[in-house]
Structure 1
Amino acid sequence: MRKSILTLGIAAVLTGVLATCSMAYAADDELAQIQESGKLKVGVEGTYPPYTYHDDNGELTGFDVEVAKAIADKLGVEADFTESDWDSLLAGIDSGRLDTVINAVSITPEREEKYDFAGPYFYITQQIVVAKDNDDIVDMASLDGKKVANTATTAYLDILEDAGASLVQISTADEAVSLIESGRADFTTFNSVVFNEYLQQHPDANLKVAFVIPDVVDTYAVPIKKGETALYDAIQNAIDELKEDGTLSKLSEDYFGTDFTQPQDENAATTDTASEDATTESTDEN
C-alpha cells in the first residue's frame, strides 16, 4: 500500500514537472510552431492604403503586406493574412489567433506593457486634418474643447486628450471624414502618406492639413506577445537583414516615393512635412 502511494506521488510530481515544462516550451516556442505549420499568421486591416488594401483585381496588397511577406520569407514560411477592423487586431495576438499584426502599428508605452516590438521599420510624422473652412484649429492649444474623430486605440489619443480634445469614436478614415464634413467632429489625424493617398482617391474632399503634431515622429514596428523570445529574435533579425540589403528602402520608395524606413530627426521631419502642399498629406488610425 505504501509502495502504491509512493508510486502515485512520484507520478504526480513527474506529471507536474512535465506539464510545467510543456507550458514553458509552448510559451517560448511559437517560432517552432510557425515553422512547423509553414505559416506566419499576420493581422491586417486591408482597408488602409497604401499600407494594406485591395488592388483593382481584389488582391490584398500594400507596403505592410509586402513587408510581412518579406519577413515570413526570412523565417522560411509564408505570410497567412487575416483581415479585421483595427480595434480587434491586437486582440488577435492576445487570443493566439494571430502571431502578429503588421499594419502601421505604432509603438506606445501602453502597448509595450503587453508586447515586445521588433523593429522599428518605419518612421513618419502625424498631421491634424480639418475642414477647409476651419481656421480655428492652428496648433495644439487650439484643440482644447474640440472633437476628434478617431479610433479608440489610436496611438495619439492621450496626446489629444491632454490638449483638451474629446473622442468621437470611428472605425475607418471614411467615417472620420464624414463626421468632419457634417460638423459632428472638428478634426482627425492623418500621417503624411495616408492622407495623400486619400486625396488621390477623393480629390474633391473638403479637407486640409491644419498643422503637424510637434516633436513627434511615429515609429511602426512588429508586435510580439511578451515571452515569445525566439519569435521576437527571428523577426528582429529578419527586419535587420531587410534593412541592410535595401529591401525595406526599396519597398518604401515604391509605395511612397521616398524612404521612410530610416530614423528621422523630429524637428527636420516636422519642417519638411509642413512645407508640403496640403494635398500631399494622410489619416493615421493606428
Structure 2
Amino acid sequence: MRKLALPLLAWCWLALAVAFPVLADRLVVATEGAYPPFNYHDEQGRLTGFDVDIALALCQAMAAECELVAEEWDRLLDGLEQGRFDLVVASMAKTPARAERADFSDYYYRTHSMFVGLANTYDDAAPDTLNNQRIATGVGTIQADFLQRRYRNSHIMLAPNQEEALARLVEGKVDLVLSDSINLLNFLQSPAGSPFDYVGEPLADGILQAEARIAVAKGRQELLERINQAITTIRLNGSYDHINRRYIPFSVY
C-alpha cells in the first residue's frame, strides 16, 4: 500500500453548479490505492479506478469540492475517526466491528469472494480440499476473518494488501489467494495471472459481506444522507453505468 497520499482535486462541472446549490464544505475522500480495478495508481502515479470515479461522481452530485487521498487499508478507519477524512470510498464492506467505528451508506456495488490458484490443480475450494495449503489474503479484510474462522487447517498468510497477496502467488510463496472475484478477474486477465484460474464457486457465507459501502465518521448523519441521495442520483443520470462499463464488463450494482 502507498504511504504517500496523492491528492487529486475534483471540481464540480459548470453544468452541475446550475442544478445543485454550491456548498461551502470541502470533503476529503480516502481510498486505498492498491486494489485494482477498484482503486489503484496508474503509470503516472495518479489515483484511478472504479472507486475513485464513483467518489468523483458522488462529489459532483453533491456539488462538493473534494480531495482524494490514498491511505493504507488498515489505517482508513483510524483516519476517519481522527477527522483526517470525511468519507472512505474503498470497496469496504460493513461488518459489526467496523459499524462500531463508522457509519455506512447504502451499498454502491455487490460482488463475491473467490479463491484463485494454479489452473487444473484443485477440484473445489472446500476446507478439507485446501487442508495444509498456503492461502494468502489482505490483512484486516473480511477474507482474512473468513479464512481464520473457516480454514483453520490451512496455512493463512496475511499480506499488507491484495496486490501483495497476488504477488506472493505469482512468486510461488503461497498456493492460493482469496479475494474479491472482480479484483481476481483483473489479475487473471493480466500476463502474470495467465497460469492461474478461479478455484471452486463464489463463496456464500455470512462473514463475507457482498456489498461495498461508503464509510463516514460516527454521527455525521447529514453527510450520510447526502451520500445516499448522491448514489441514487448517479444511478438515475447514467453516470454509474458509464463508470461500471469503464472497469467491469458486467453490472455490479
Global fold match (TM > 0.5): yes
% identical equivalent positions: 26
Q: Provide Cα deviations, 1:186-226, integer angstroms capped at 9, x if missing partner.
A: 32213222222223333455422112343256110101122
- What is the letter of the counterpart of residue 157 of structure 2? V
TM-score, with structure 1 as normaliser: 0.70
Give the secondary-structure state (helix, strand or coil) at the position aligned to 1:153. coil
- What is the letter of the counterpart of residue 66 of structure 2? A
Distance 1:113 1:130, change over 3 A: same
Give 2:40's match in structure 1, choosing from 53, 62, 71: 53
Give 1:162's match in structure 2, choosing from 125, 135, 149: 149
Runs of 4+ in 1 over 6 A off after TM superposition: none
Distance 1:162 1:141, change over 3 A: farther
Residues 52 and 65 of structure 1 are in contact (CA less than 8 Å); yes or no, is this contact kept in structure 2? yes
Give 2:232's match in structure 1, choosing from 227, 240, 249: 240
> Match of 1:273?
none
Larger strand percent: 2
- Cα distance in 2 for partners of 1:140, 1:186 equals 14
Larger helix percent: 1
Structure 1 position 183, deviation (Å):
4.9
Give the secondary-structure state (helix, strand or coil) at the position aligned to 2:114. strand
Residues 47 and 54 of structure 1 are in contact (CA less than 8 Å); yes or no, is this contact kept in structure 2? yes
Residues 93 and 210 of structure 2 are in contact (CA less than 8 Å); yes or no, is this contact kept in structure 1? yes
> Match of 2:78?
91
Higher radius of gyration, 1 or 2: 1
Distance 1:58 1:96, change over 3 A: same
Distance 1:213 1:44, change over 3 A: same
State the Cα RMSD in Å: 2.4
**Unpaired runs of 5+ in structure 1?**
1-34, 262-286
> Match of 2:67?
80
**Unpaired runs of 5+ in structure 2?**
1-22
TM-score, with structure 2 as normaliser: 0.79
Distance 1:212 1:204, change over 3 A: closer
Q: Which has the higher mean CA deviation after the structures are superposed, 43-52 or 184-193?
A: 184-193
- Cα distance in 1 for partners of 2:122, 2:53 equals 39
Give the secondary-structure state (helix, strand or coil) at the position aligned to 2:166. helix
> Match of 1:110?
97
